[in-house]
Structure 1
Amino acid sequence: MSKVRTLGLIPARAGSKGIPGKNLRLLGGVPLIVRTIEVALEAQLDQVVVSTDGPDIAEVSKRAGARVPFLRPAELATDDAATVDVVRHALMWLRQREATEPETVVLLQPTSPLRTAEHIREALELFSRGHGRTVVSVTPTDHPPHWTYTLSAEGTLLPVVPGNWAARRQDLPPTFRLNGAIYVFPAAKAEGDRLWDERSLAYVMPPEASVDIDTELDWQLAEILLQRDAVRT
């Protein structure tokens, strides 16, 4: 059994209801998935593997320098497929077919195209300091959850965070949300039901690097930020 210290795993299924074919759509002139492959390679992960059910995605990924040693089974390419199952399948395939046993998995979703190789390296450093605890990337929330509500059956406001929060924003505790850009965890974590938990360490990323593309509006925002950065450089 050969050891691989860090496996960069990029999950990219062919189907997408929000933005059809988004993984191959050009963002700033580059296919969306290629942006993640390029930063994963730049971060010098030991292996970069794409898990996909799409032959077209597989071909583009190979040309960009990633490995695509298998096509993901159809049952793991549905809207309901759990990410932990996708990770488990990839690790099992590598173990059984190539006798490869990664120690650490760096999960990189292609829908987060503005993360950089430096972000990946910093997340790995935090993982190393955390003695094997999962690292998840987060970003500050746009609005305090203390000011959010659900609606009752009668249409009245029900606070998500109980209490009287009629306070200035700066008086409230800072809050963060997962941004979906980076997950770093021991490969053994995929044997359980969750890749992260309440003991996981947070790697904080700025909002401008935390766009998670799910809608056309997200796509347009990513294009604007890419153009802004291109002008600055």
Structure 2
Amino acid sequence: MIKKVLAIIPARGCSKGLPRKNIIDLAGKPLIAWTIEASLGSKYIINTIVSSDSDEILDVAKNYNSDILKRPDELATDISSSEVVVKHVLESIEEKFDYVALLQPTSPLRDTNDIDNAFEKLFSSEANALISVCEYDNKILKAFKENKFGYIEGISNNKYPFMRRQDLPKTYISNGAIYIIKVEEFLKNESFFTDKTISYEMNLEKSLDIDTLKDLEKVEKSINENT
């Protein structure tokens, strides 16, 4: 059976670290365009919607052939979560979908191949959700935390703090590039994480995220070196 997939690209107008971040120029086109084009190129995504409180961003998105949805101001604050944005989109559209993917515009090096490979990994598994990750320094497993009695204990268990790093398991961190989940699962808990979530690993270069001007310059350098 064909699975109906919706992609949502959240793009707030206000950005303190990098003004007009989502539409700032990156290697000749607006930052958000990189994610729109990656989404539209996917063989699994049948509809791409940019959610924003900014008419300027929505106009740019429309010019790159994305569907758009104006977001209420109360869902575009510094504390507004991606989950409430996704819920707003799902409740605002009439068409029903089997899966929803969240693709953040600040991860421009995540491309169509990454998106399709992530879907293929999810669809071939028993999982109901997927989160993209990159490898993270496993030294974190050697850390301690203080328990309610004031004594320290390992953050995972009490063996890892005393093991050699090369004997520790690999650890990963979400890179913010791809989140996919069954719509029915998302609506249950309004979360992208379930007890049946798998990962899609990306390398550190593709996991670069733009939050500052320095990040932008680093990503642009990477693009120029690979073209």
Asked whether the two chains share a fold, i.e. TM above 0.5, the reply is yes
Q: CA RMSD in A?
A: 2.4
Paired position in structure 2 for 1:217: 214
Q: How many residues are matched?
A: 218
- Matched letter for residue 37 of structure 1: I
1:66 matched residue in structure 2? 66
2:149 maps to what in 1? none
1:147-162 matched pairs, under 5 angstroms: none
- 5+ residue gaps, structure 2, are 147-152
CA distance in 2, matches of 1:23, 1:132: 32
Q: Which residue of 2 aligns with 1:154?
A: none
Query: 1:197 Cα deviation (Å)?
Result: 2.9
CA contact (8 A) 2:10 2:50 kept: yes
Distance in 2 of aligned mates of 1:75 and 1:144: 40
Q: 1:149 to 1:225 in 2, by over 3 A?
A: farther
Question: Per-residue CA shift, 1:30-85, capped at 9, x if unaligned?
Answer: 211000001111113201110111000000001111011x3001111111112111
Percent of aligned pairs with the same amino acid = 35
1:194 Cα shift?
1.4
**TM-score normalised by length of structure 2:** 0.87
Cα distance in 2, alignment partners of residues 213 and 171 from structure 1: 33
Match of 2:136 among 131, 135, 141: 141
Specify the alignment match of 2:150 in structure 1. Answer: none
Distance 1:123 1:164 in 2: 31
Change (3 A) 1:163 1:20: farther
Shift of 1:168: 4.9
Aligned to 1:208: 205
How far 1:169 sits from its partner (Å)?
A: 3.7
Cα 1:174–1:201 change in 2 (3 A) is: same
1:170-223: CA deviation from partner (whole Å, max 9, x where unpaired):
332111000010011111233223121343111111111101222333222212
Counterpart residue number, 1:175: 171
The gaps in structure 1 that reach 5 residues or longer are 152-157
- Indicate conservation of the 8 Å contact 2:18/2:212, yes or no: yes
8 Å contact 1:87–1:190 — kept in the other structure? Answer: no
CA distance in 1, matches of 2:75, 2:84: 7
Counterpart in the other structure of 2:21 = 22
In structure 2, how many angstroms separate the alpha carbons of the residues matched to 1:164 and 1:121? 36
Q: More deviation in 58-67 or 77-86?
A: 77-86
Counterparts of 1:4 and 1:122, CA distance in 2: 15
Q: Distance in 1 between matches of 2:143 and 2:56?
A: 42
* Offset of residue 144 of structure 1: 2.7
From 98, 119, 134, the counterpart of 1:124: 119
TM-score (norm 1): 0.84
Q: Hey, what's the Cα distance between the residues in 2 that align with 1:78 and 1:178?
A: 22
